Amino acid sequence: MRHETFSNERTREIVSSHLGLEGPLLPILHAVRETFGYVPEAAVPVIAEELNLSRAEVHGVVTFYHDFNRAPHGRHVVKICRAEACQSVGVETLVAHAERSLGVSMGETSPDGRVTLEPIYCLGLCACAPAAMVDGRIIGRLDMEAIDEIVAEVDR
């Protein structure tokens, strides 16, 4: 999906189209993310001004929710569950393997824009093995072989 280049004007249009909603901040942030592919830092003061909120209030919501990325994602997004249940069955070893294999640290995007590696907290599949999500597709029973398959998929 191609995203638009950020502009204050387009951000104001998005805000304006949501002003009739009760509690419009979350829908506006979702629309900004859909439009630009992320929530640019420059959008925060525009949204705050248009909604008569402080920048801190808008920034707090953006940083609270993991789905409001503040930089463009890579072409592929790999999310590995780091909730307590997955930690108890060894997900940290898998995270380290994924970081080495993908060439990117958790929470970052590769310099070539190929992949973003992010934490996620609970996919509901943690009965016996960690889980992951690749480009929105859930993968259960995550192990080293599954990580290697993910790496091969994003390298295509």
From 11-20, 79-88, 120-129, the region with the lowest mean pLDDT: 120-129
Mean pLDDT of 114-138: 87
Residue 94's identity, in one-letter code, is: L
Tokens of 59: 């920034």
Task: Collect all residues with Cβ–Cβ distance below 8 Å to 18 and sequence separation of at least 6.
Answer: 24, 27, 28, 31
Query: Which residue range forms the structural domain that includes residue 28?
Result: 8-64
- CATH number at 89 reads 3.40.30.10
pTM of the model: 0.77
Number of domains comprising the chain: 2
Do the annotations mark residue 128 as ligand-binding? no
Residue 122's pLDDT is what? 83
Task: Collect all residues with Cβ–Cβ distance below 8 Å to 13 and sequence separation of at least 6.
Answer: none
Q: Do 40 and 81 share a domain, yes or no? A: no
Three-class secondary structure of residue 89 per DSSP: coil
d(CA 100, CA 40): 28
